[in-house]
Structure 1
Amino acid sequence: MTWREQKTKEWANASELDSFRFANRIIEENKIRDIEEDSYWKTTWKTFAKNRFAMFFLFVLLLLIVFITIQPYLPKQKDPNLIYNSRKTGQQIRNQAPNKDFWFGTNSIGQDLWSRTWAGTRTSLFLGITVSFLEAFIGTIVGLLWGYVRKLDAFFTEIYNLLDNIPSTIVLILISYILRPGIPTLILALCATGWIQMARFIRNQMLLIRDKEFNIASRMLGTSTSRILRKNCMPYLISVILMRVSLSIPSVIGSEVFITYLGLGLPLNIPSLGNLIQAGRAKLMMPGLRYQLLFPTLIVSIITVSFYLIGNAFADAADPKNHR
């Protein structure tokens, strides 16, 4: 028996396990040790945590969320809708500058701006996060099907052309005008057309990766469409989705400010950053009352900068190309 025939016989008798013994191991200093594999999300978090600037703003944002959650239960907190009167004169404490009793001052009818500012932050953040995730959820599902399933391309293209030609501002104004003012109405108005751009963006990304080798191989092996979309496509899209969600949250807050400016936003008994900024704008030309605009705009700025930096950093960290 020749050497080649002997080796062929040995390989044929080898078990499958022995044949692939070193597939998940490396040799280092003549010793074999297992490679410790990290999950996709664990690797993403490790990459994100290396960005100290983004981690700082993540801490600031989490601190803000925790504070606005527990703020109503802290001692000596005032009702955001209660009108306070002076004990001496019995009149409303209007436009009171910040002091030890009213930390952010009072507005033109005697309401405490400290409690209204944090209540408004809770409302606006809830709106921003809810609307952004609803838009991302709807837009991602539509975009994946639109870009991957060729038979649905014409159908979704017609829907896109129809809805995209209607100005979103008009839809926002009409829904806010027709329905009763409130948080559900504002969520519906903001989500009505907000998902369209997300769907279009995801569809364009899907066209780039739909016919990649790994997707073709999966289809040849009979892998289901839903599994291909989840396992093959989503890891390449999660970074851009997260980035657009993070940028959408401050954008939704800005839309709420805009619709409040038109007088179609939330009622005054529901504090929001839009209501506070709209009320503060009227005092902009009065130097002694500019504090009413300062605090809500400062919080909007912090939220906007934080989500922008965190979103960009997390998008880079979630990109599989950056995983080592």
Structure 2
Amino acid sequence: MGMYSEEINNISHRSREALFEFAVTDERQAEETAYSNYSYWRSTWKSFLKNRIAIFLLVGVLMIVTFTILQPYLPAQKSPTEIYLDEQTGLQARNIAPNTEFWFGTNSIGQDLWSRIWAGTRTSLLIGCAVAIVEAIIGITIGTLWGFSRKLEMPITQLYNIVDNIPTTIVLILMSYILRPSVSTIIIAMCITGWVEMARFIRNQIVILRDREYNLASKCLGTPDYRIILKNLLPYLISVIMLRMSLAIPFAIGAEVFLTYIGLGLPISEPSLGNLINEGRVLMMSPELRYQLIFPSIVLSVITIAFYIIGNSFADAADPKNHV
């Protein structure tokens, strides 16, 4: 009986050895499992690439911007300010329909509309990008201090109430009267009140985030305020910041068109989309001259819609909640 039990134990032991094996630990692999190769910007870009419409529009905008910059240096390009004469009559080549020589036709004084549209696009994009950058810098700085510092809350609130109650249109008109109409005048006029919306939005978001547990823990550990702002607060707001900046560009271009419409925009000698659309508006009722309004309007519409869709798509992609 004892031998039988011993034999059964041996069989059970061999069965256990066949079914199980000892786990072997590797300290080097244990260290590697603690490493994460997650990158916020790489994850944002991957999420953005999933939106094919936004990618298509982004490529289109980049092509437009690139062509706008390179257009004056390409062969067979005419001057946007030169007045061309008809070789047969010697008079100004006025209101010539699009042809092989003047691809988009000419305007009422004989200037090449093709060159003027791209020169105007350069001017309008310069205004839009400059306004967006300045508004972002001022708005983010003031909004962050406004929401994070309780000492600065009252004076910044009073400043906000003053600036916000001044109509933007009045500021644009006054600046155009006080200063000589130019690109810098329009940029300054738009930036005087343009930062208000960005600052208010950033302030509201900062107030929501500043008293969360991890920020209070950082304060208790002696972390400087600027590090809390840069590391704990602003990264959560990248999506809304990018959205606001992308919308500021078409808004600035639209404001330039509005100023030109009321006669306070850039001088006619300096091409811009606002000038071109205002010139074409006068000829809108003439079917044979309607192209002078259609071409610049198409360019303006494409840029405005593209920036709006790209900004919304990138804002969604940059939102940490959409990252895995």
Q: TM-score, normalised by structure 2?
A: 0.89
Distance (whole Å) between structure 1 residues aligned to residue 275 and residue 92 of structure 2: 20
Using the TM superposition, give the Cα deviation of residue 53 of structure 1 relative to its aligned residue in structure 2, in angstroms: 1.3
Using the TM superposition, give the Cα deviation of residue 132 of structure 1 relative to its aligned residue in structure 2, in angstroms: 0.9
Aligned length: 298
Distance (whole Å) between structure 2 residues aligned to residue 119 and residue 139 of structure 1: 30
Match of 2:3 in 1: none
Summarize the Cα distance change of 1:24–1:189 in structure 2 as closer, same or farther, 3 Å threshold.
Answer: farther
1:295 maps to a residue whose letter is F
2:298 maps to a residue whose letter is L
Say whether 1:121 aligns with 2:121. Answer: yes
Distance (whole Å) between structure 1 residues aligned to residue 307 and residue 212 of structure 2: 32
Summarize the Cα distance change of 1:24–1:300 in structure 2 as closer, same or farther, 3 Å threshold.
Answer: farther
Deviations 1:60-95 (A, max 9, x none): 000111111111111110000000011111100111
Say whether 1:177 aligns with 2:138. Answer: no
Distance (whole Å) between structure 2 residues aligned to residue 190 and residue 275 of structure 1: 18
Summarize the Cα distance change of 1:223–1:22 in structure 2 as closer, same or farther, 3 Å threshold.
Answer: farther
Match of 2:33 in 1: 25
Decide which moves more: 37-46 or 310-319: 37-46
2:33 maps to a residue whose letter is R
Distance (whole Å) between structure 1 residues aligned to residue 31 and residue 59 of structure 2: 40
Decide which moves more: 51-60 or 113-122: 51-60
Using the TM superposition, give the Cα deviation of residue 22 of structure 1 relative to its aligned residue in structure 2, in angstroms: 4.3
Summarize the Cα distance change of 1:311–1:24 in structure 2 as closer, same or farther, 3 Å threshold.
Answer: farther
Using the TM superposition, give the Cα deviation of residue 264 of structure 1 relative to its aligned residue in structure 2, in angstroms: 1.2
Match of 2:68 in 1: 68
Distance (whole Å) between structure 2 residues aligned to residue 64 and residue 97 of structure 1: 24
2:129 maps to a residue whose letter is I
Distance (whole Å) between structure 1 residues aligned to residue 255 and residue 322 of structure 2: 34
Using the TM superposition, give the Cα deviation of residue 277 of structure 1 relative to its aligned residue in structure 2, in angstroms: 0.4
Match of 2:140 in 1: 140
Conserved in 2, the CA contact under 8 Å of 1:147 and 1:204? Answer: yes
Conserved in 2, the CA contact under 8 Å of 1:103 and 1:114? Answer: yes
Task: Name the % identity.
Answer: 59
Match of 1:13 in 2: none
Conserved in 2, the CA contact under 8 Å of 1:147 and 1:207? Answer: yes
Conserved in 2, the CA contact under 8 Å of 1:260 and 1:278? Answer: yes
From the CA coordinates, give the structure whose radius of gyration is larger.
2
Distance (whole Å) between structure 2 residues aligned to residue 97 and residue 88 of structure 1: 16
Distance (whole Å) between structure 2 residues aligned to residue 73 and residue 158 of structure 1: 50
Say whether 1:77 aligns with 2:77. Answer: yes
Say whether 1:110 aligns with 2:110. Answer: yes
Secondary structure, aligned partner of 2:138: helix
Summarize the Cα distance change of 1:218–1:313 in structure 2 as closer, same or farther, 3 Å threshold.
Answer: same
Say whether 1:96 aligns with 2:96. Answer: yes
Say whether 1:130 aligns with 2:130. Answer: yes
Deviations 1:163-189 (A, max 9, x none): 111111101100011101111111101
Distance (whole Å) between structure 2 residues aligned to residue 313 and residue 44 of structure 1: 10
Secondary structure, aligned partner of 2:152: helix
Distance (whole Å) between structure 1 residues aligned to residue 47 and residue 306 of structure 2: 18
**Which runs of 5 or more structure 2 residues have no equivalent in the other structure?**
1-26
Deviations 1:33-53 (A, max 9, x none): x54x13222221121112111
Could you say what the CA RMSD is over the residues aligned between the two structures, in angstroms? 1.4
Q: How does 1:157-172 map to 2 (within 5 A)?
A: 157-172=157-172
Match of 1:272 in 2: 272
Distance (whole Å) between structure 2 residues aligned to residue 138 and residue 23 of structure 1: 44
Using the TM superposition, give the Cα deviation of residue 21 of structure 1 relative to its aligned residue in structure 2, in angstroms: 8.1
Match of 2:200 in 1: 200
1:182 maps to a residue whose letter is S
Q: How does 1:296-307 map to 2 (within 5 A)?
A: 296-307=296-307
Say whether 1:258 aligns with 2:266. Answer: no
Conserved in 2, the CA contact under 8 Å of 1:235 and 1:320? Answer: no
Conserved in 2, the CA contact under 8 Å of 1:235 and 1:319? Answer: no
